[in-house]
Structure 1
């Protein structure tokens, strides 16, 4: 099998017509192999970029969770102050109202960031259903029951 291919590639003087007919097919095979190698490299680069993007998304999600935790801690602090003797001190009451407004604004920003992160994950084409962390980003319910 190798002998006719070698004769076709090297244009042997004793080449038969059948062997000479092999040359265009060999060149096509080589071109297809080269194209396949290039596409495989492009695919690997795309997969690497996707992995990096998913990693960044997870880091952003973790940061958002940390900020939400901090927000809840501030809300709890405000609630503790509210239950204290803030009713008699107008300055504390003013601070409490300011904190309530900040918490409300932070929650609104959090909802927007959460919605945006969910939309990015869903719209990216990443298989978020199979990934537990991404699924939590997309499907995490909001707790609107905690009013200050």
Structure 2
């Protein structure tokens, strides 16, 4: 049930997420999660700025009502679930821009002034790393 992946800062995209609150698939029958995952891979490949953040995929993050969700995680850092994205390049770039700041942070907290506009309002949950709780 578990598949090993590279350990480090990562955006884990739900590749089975709904396209939107209203529809499971887009007009071509493709899930929103698959579109967002593809956009994340394309944006990451387009710029070395994102080299320190992996893009990983898995089926279902169990955030179905929040569609197009990603899990941002790194060892020893608070992790976040973000969702309600439009599955496109603009959202992918905002997610990866935030992930770069997250990767550079000490504990996973990024000052609000550094948040790209495209991630504001998209945070769903945060979780502490194993063995810790957030202050």
With the shorter chain as reference, the TM-score category is under 0.3
Return the structure number with greater relative CO, CA threshold 8 A, min gap 6: 2
Name the TM-score, length of structure 1 as normaliser: 0.21
Give the helix-richer structure, 1 or 2: 1
Name the TM-score, length of structure 2 as normaliser: 0.22
Structure with higher Rg: it is 1
Give the strand-richer structure, 1 or 2: 2
